[in-house]
A and B are shown apart, each in its own frame.
Chain A
Amino acid sequence: MITIPVDGPGGSTVYDARTLPSNDNVNSYSFCIDLDGEWFTAAGAMIAYYGNVDFSGVAAFASRAAWVASRFSSPLYTQDWVVASGQGKLVIGDRGNDINSYDLEVGNLTIKAKNLLAFETGLELKQSIVPGFLTLIGTGKFLASSVGPVIFVEPPFRADPDALLGWADCPSPSVHYDHNWMAQSFMAGIQGMFGRESGEERQYDFTGAGTILMQSSELLRADSALLRLIESQTNLLDANSAGTLGHKLIARSQQQ
């Protein structure tokens, strides 16, 4: 027999199927979906569930329901996503990262692919032309994780690629290079360049009207879809260039 401290400092709430929040955060790090029908969820995002819920791969589900293919038009990502269908409560989490829910109404929002955890079937998922990002279009709710709470800023704004979580309504970003930094780095290069390469000279530049979503920077996460995307783009190279790139990549992987 154990005594669970309930509420108060250090205490915890004990949930069951009825008392779990309905389409709301359980705490900063987890969210409970009230499932009645279908949701798309990232593979591994589900941490617990109640009820009669079936999880099947997007490809497998699409063979039974034709509408799935038109909603999930991101072939690169099909193997990383599942369709949760049925009735019940679904708890979503992502390694202790903060989780937020967003409501889109006839809108569009682009978000880092690794941070998107789940979305309603009223939304359409498309690959952004910025590698590693996905765009949601339509009306519905979606869940995304972030390192620390999300910070919303308005353009004009320049964001570090590692700290950029996504953007809504504004045009796709362009890449801005800091000339000051480049000149200094070049000098430093001649002088032997102690210290680390930071990437601070390269930012994503946002203009126009819209909202930018930011988080604290994070370590590069392995994104298998991004790997497939870049691999497919190396088809643009001739055999010689591909060989040169291969050698450089081998050298890089051996350095680490």
Chain B
Amino acid sequence: MNGAAFEQVNKKVVRTDVSPGGEVIARRGAMLGYSGGVTFRPISGPGGVGGMVGRAMQGESVAMMVAEGQGNAYYGFRGLYVTLVQLHNETLTVEADRLLAHHAHLSTSVEMIGSGGVRQAVRGAMSGQGLFTTKVSGTGSVALLSHGGTFEIPVDGSGMVGVDPQAYVGHVGALQIDFKISAGVRDVVGRGSGEATQLHCTGHGRVYIQASEEKF
């Protein structure tokens, strides 16, 4: 195993080495413990203070931190399940809330789900997902948070995969995610099936689903 990988300690905790050149970026408050000469520093996103203000204006509220030095560190968050997703020169799109940790050599950017415009923003608000998502690209592993664990559904272009918006965790690959509403009269009067809103995934890649529909 190379130094820049995560090790699953149990279903709720991961461990990783920290080294010069192998810094780890994680959600603030998610460090459980460490040994060795590791120090932690809050980070404010690309562009220093401007980046921080910019991010606050964009509505992305999850603060991150970086672990530097030489040693190893444990990460977990409030008893949530932790899933490791392996990226091989790929891009993972994930709701910012659910990103636990990754190594600094992966690049990140904050983006909206879909291709922009006010309509997409409204869709995000309606789906209950964060308006903004984080894109993580490169080769390495990423630790994601979920309720009750995460499983993977491949999307191979042969058909559409429908996902409950609350169960959606993230996706890898070139996927088109469309938000569908199939509300009828029953939903308006509060007697819907609860499945009136769905995310339709098409294209090539894989989508990650959590076993529960519970929100953070």
Q: Which of B70-78, B122-130, B154-162, B177-185 contacts A (4 or more CB under 8 A)?
A: B70-78
Q: Are B63 and A157 in contact (CB under 8 A)?
A: no
Alpha-carbon distance A195/B11, docked complex (angstroms): 28
- SS class of chain B's interface: helix, strand, loop or mixed? mixed
Q: Are A163 and B32 in contact (CB under 8 A)?
A: yes
Q: Is A27 an interface residue (CB 8 A)?
A: no
Q: How far is the CB of A174 from chain B (nearest CB, A)?
A: 15
**Docked complex: A167-215 residues within 8 A CB-CB of B:** 178-181, 184-185, 188, 191-192, 194-196, 198-201, 203, 212, 214-215
Q: Are A216 and B12 in contact (CB under 8 A)?
A: yes
Select one of A149, A181, A191, A217 contacting B78, CB under 8 A. Answer: A217
Chain A contacts for B28, CB-based, 8 A: 195-196, 198, 200
Alpha-carbon distance A157/B29, docked complex (angstroms): 17
Which residues from chain B sit less than 8 Å from chain A, CB to CB?
9-13, 28-35, 39-42, 44, 49, 52-53, 55-56, 61, 63, 65, 68, 74, 76-80
Q: Is A242 an interface residue (CB 8 A)?
A: no
Interface size of A in residues (CB-CB distance below 8 Å): 36
Q: Are B34 and A216 in contact (CB under 8 A)?
A: no
The contact string, 1 if C-beta is below 8 Å from chain B, for chain A 135-158, is: 000000000000111010100111
Alpha-carbon distance A26/B95, docked complex (angstroms): 37
Q: How far is the CB of A120 from chain B (nearest CB, A)?
A: 27
Q: Is A4 an interface residue (CB 8 A)?
A: no
Q: How far is the CB of A180 from chain B (nearest CB, A)?
A: 4
Q: Are A180 and B41 in contact (CB under 8 A)?
A: yes
